[in-house]
Amino acid sequence: MLIHNLKVLKGTNASKPAGFILLGFSDLPQVEWILLALISIIYILTLMGNTAIILVSYLNPKLHTPMYFFLSNLSFLDLCFTTSIVPQMLWNIKGPEKTISYTGCVIQLYCVLGLGSTECILLTVMAYDRFNAICRPLHYCVIMHPKRLWQLTAVAWISGFLESTVQTTLVFQLSLCSHHRVDDFVCEEPALIKIACIDTTFLENELSVACVLYVVLPLGLILVSYGCIVRSVLRIKSAEVRRKAFGTCGSHLIVVVLFFGTIICVYIQPKSKYTQNHSKFLTLFYTVVTPSLNPLIYTLRNKEVKTALKRLLSRDFS
């Protein structure tokens, strides 16, 4: 079947094929059906959980605060992120053909890079919000006024898709090998670079710079913010206030560790550290699993969200 797909997808111009074959986990057929069931369930939970967070934050006046404004943006971003990947992935897993059109691959790469980069910046903005709330409480309302919230969110989205525009343009200017087989389940930059038939040193160096700007630097700023937060919280004499402060920041910090940890493993790891299948599972984690965990993490660790959810559900079922 793969040989047939190759004949169908092979274009006259090697640099612009009719489409690509996403190999995914085709070398592990016994795992594919398990993944099909798990990913389907996780995707449904992701849609339900993130939609609930958005609705609760919008409908409950008590949650009209900067923290929940950014959390709603994160939930909307996660909805878009998983939807740009999972439907195509499920279609390829369940069927014998593992194909994606050239245009589809371009759009998917653009969305994955744009939304992933935006999430890196948005998580940094959320850390900045927590820093101001805990370290500068008297000036918090002045600093994080509504106009500033929209400005910070706009910076996150615009900068994320600006980076995606540059990366996607560079990737699809490469002369690609005629087999057009991408050893991944999604059109992702490292996998596409591997099927180039020319020297990709420049693009790899450019990707390294992008990783520093959108992964290393934001993570560094987040760690600095939390260093200041920990120092300020430890000065508080009330144990109850300290517990509440750490609880508020704990959810965000868990999300940061999960998201940035897997991103670093996929994009910044030494090439020989993991096999390609290990890299695929890591990519699967941050593209599919992490977006489903975010609502759960924020709900379980936040009494305000749990209370608002209960009120929303009781209102719907009463």
Determine the Cα–Cα distance for residues 94 and 185; give it in Å rounded to an integer.
12
pTM of the model: 0.86
- Residue 270 in this model has a pLDDT that exceeds 60: no
Residue 269's pLDDT is 65
Residue 12's pLDDT is 37
Determine the Cα–Cα distance for residues 147 and 154; give it in Å rounded to an integer.
11
- Other C-beta atoms lying within 10 Å of the C-beta of residue 83: 16
**Closest to 188 (Cα-Cα) out of 105, 76, 296, 247:** 105
**Closest to 135 (Cα-Cα) out of 247, 228, 253:** 228
- Residue 64 in this model has a pLDDT that exceeds 70: yes
Sign of the Cα torsion 15, 17, 19, 20 reads negative
Sheet holding 19-22, edge to edge: 99-101, 19-22, 181-182
Task: State which fold the 2-317 domain adopts.
Answer: Rhopdopsin 7-helix transmembrane proteins (1.20.1070)
**Closest to 184 (Cα-Cα) out of 40, 77, 42, 88:** 88
Residue 235's pLDDT is 83
Residues of the chain above pLDDT 70, percent = 87
- Residue 71 in this model has a pLDDT that exceeds 80: yes
- Are 109 and 161 in contact by the 8 Å Cβ rule? The answer is no
pLDDT-derived band at 111, boundaries 50, 70, 90: very high
Residue 47's pLDDT is 94
Task: Identify the top-confidence range among 123-127, 188-192, 262-266.
Answer: 123-127
Q: Is 179 helix (H, G, I), strand (E, B) or coil?
A: coil
CB-count exposure of residue 291 (10 Å: 0-12, 13-18, 19+): buried
* Lookup: tokens for 100: 């994606």
Determine the Cα–Cα distance for residues 95 and 280; give it in Å rounded to an integer.
19
- Are 63 and 131 in contact by the 8 Å Cβ rule? The answer is no
Lowest pLDDT segment from 4-8, 133-137, 182-186, 235-239: 4-8
- Residue 315 in this model has a pLDDT that exceeds 70: no
Strands (E), 99-170: 99-101
- Are 171 and 159 in contact by the 8 Å Cβ rule? The answer is no
Pick 235 or 308 by higher pLDDT.
235
**Closest to 35 (Cα-Cα) out of 20, 21, 19, 24:** 24
Task: Identify the top-confidence range among 88-92, 104-108, 183-187, 196-200.
Answer: 104-108
User: pLDDT digit string (tens) for 160-219?
Assistant: 999 999 999 999 988 887 778 888 888 888 888 888 888 888 888 888 899 999 999 999
* Lookup: tokens for 16: 């612009």
Residue 247: C-alpha distances to residues 170, 234, 285 (Å): 43, 14, 25
Q: What b/e string do you get for 299-312 counting C-beta neighbours within 10 Å, with b at 16 or more?
A: bebbebbeebbeee
Q: Is 182 helix (H, G, I), strand (E, B) or coil?
A: strand
Determine the Cα–Cα distance for residues 38 and 178; give it in Å rounded to an integer.
33
Pick 204 or 44 by higher pLDDT.
44
Determine the Cα–Cα distance for residues 233 and 231; give it in Å rounded to an integer.
6
